[in-house]
Amino acid sequence: MNGLNQVNLFAKYIFKQIFGPFILFLITMTGIAWLTQSLRFIELIIIKGLPINLFLFLTILIIPKLLTTITPFLAYLACLITYIRLNAESELIAMKTAGISNFKIIIPTILFGILLGFLTIFIENFVSPYAFSKFKNLQSNIRDNYISILFQEKVFSSPVSNLTVFIKDKDKIGNFEGILIHDARDKNKIISVVAESGKIQQTDSGAKFTLLNGNRQETSNNNISMLYFEKYNLNINKNTKEIYTRFKEPSERNFKELFNPRDGINELYKREFLAEAHKRLITPLIILIMTLLGAITSLLGNFERKTSVKKIFYSVICAILVQMYIISAPQLIISYKNIIPFIYLPVFIILTLILFLTLINNEKLRLNIFFKLGVKN
């Protein structure tokens, strides 16, 4: 009983040691990734005048997707650093001297990986799709309700397909001067509009240009007609009665939607859905592999100064390859649907190999199989 209590005590201690660095890495890397992604939208505030509260909400919505992307490698780093420190401070030696096996030493790592795996499944199936869907809806809302911010001075812009707009000048409240519009949305009727000034107004049927003092030229069936106006309205939406329904991307859908898409969806989209679904399913297994890989780096062989750098180097390379695998492998499903079972095969092989290396008692056999070049016998 005392031995069991001792193992439980060590397990709780190691778990806490892993959890601390992981949270630190998670906050730091999420912040860096968030800032990097935010730079894509900063122009909307500085140049185009998007309200800062919308900017913050827009960028916060991408955080869940970032979390699920960076979690596997951060889990690896947390376990790697924790076990290196435990080894450097001779705590691993003390545990082994107390009769605790390598497998029992990595039990906290396994529990940590499983916990992160379940948390990732929850985020990827509920939180991330909801947040990313909100993100895409907000983008559409900005295009509809803040469409004036999409136009820059002396730049040709296309708010919708086949509608090109040029603005010579623009003030802070959204009034335009020197407007040129080329409307080719109707192939049988090409319209060009020139106006001295104007602005965009929101109506129940969508956004429209209200143009002042200009002319409208229409080309239809090789005939050209010219209209001079003091005030002219041009709808930005081609069909104001049409109800626009945005197609949800794979990242916006939960497992049920990914595995059971509605009838009539293109086969390519169905394969993209499958690729996204299996990426989510394989991620928890990758997280478990990453945590174990970080832990066994210090457990296998003699972790001495001459060999430790080499071992860490090989370990990091393996982790990077695994991270690349989870990004690239599921995408093969889009091209080769029958490859799905083979996507999981390398994952189970690697996981089995790591557990085998941890469980076997023959130290020399372990060294010959894994980290052979980086470990001193």
Residue 82: C-alpha distances to residues 69, 110, 311, 313 (Å):
22, 14, 15, 16
User: How high is the mean pLDDT of the chain?
Assistant: 83
Task: Note whether 140 and 156 are same-domain residues.
Answer: no
Going 196 to 199 to 205 to 206, the CA torsion angle's sign is positive
**241 lies in a domain?**
no
**Number of folded domains that form the chain:** 2
Question: For helices 267-299 and 305-328, what crossing angle results, to 10°?
Answer: 170
Q: What domain range includes position 156?
A: 150-235
Write the DSSP symbol of residue 201. E
**244 lies in a domain?**
no
Per-residue pLDDT tens digits for 178-219: 999 988 888 788 889 999 998 887 776 667 888 999 999 988
Whether the predicted model's global pTM rises above the 0.85 cut: no
Task: Note whether 71 and 98 are same-domain residues.
Answer: yes
Task: Note whether 88 and 134 are same-domain residues.
Answer: yes
Question: What is the DSSP track for 276-323?
Answer: HHHHHHHHHHHHHHHHHHHHHHHHSSB--HHHHHHHHHHHHHHHHHHH
d(CA 345, CA 37): 34
Per-residue pLDDT tens digits for 58-94: 889 989 999 999 999 999 999 999 999 988 888 888 8
Report CA Rg, the chain.
29
Task: Note whether 100 and 219 are same-domain residues.
Answer: no
**246 lies in a domain?**
no
Question: What is the DSSP track for 32-101?
Answer: HHHHHHHTTTHHHHHTT---HHHHHHHHHTTHHHHHHHHHHHHHHHHHHHHHHHHHHTTHHHHHHHTT--
Q: Which secondary-structure segment (H or E) carries 349?
A: helix 340-359
Question: What is the DSSP track for 127-150?
Answer: IHHHHHHHHHHHHHHHHHHSGGGG
Instruction: Show pLDDT as tens, one digit a residue, over the chain (377 residues).
Output: 455 666 678 888 899 999 999 999 999 999 998 888 787 777 666 656 667 888 888 889 989 999 999 999 999 999 999 999 988 888 888 887 877 888 888 999 999 999 999 999 999 999 999 999 998 888 777 766 666 666 777 888 777 778 888 888 887 777 889 999 988 888 788 889 999 998 887 776 667 888 999 999 988 877 888 889 989 888 876 554 444 567 888 999 999 889 988 877 888 888 999 999 999 999 999 999 999 999 988 887 665 655 578 888 888 999 999 999 998 888 888 888 889 899 999 999 999 988 887 876 555 555 555 545 444 44
The type of residue at 242 is: E
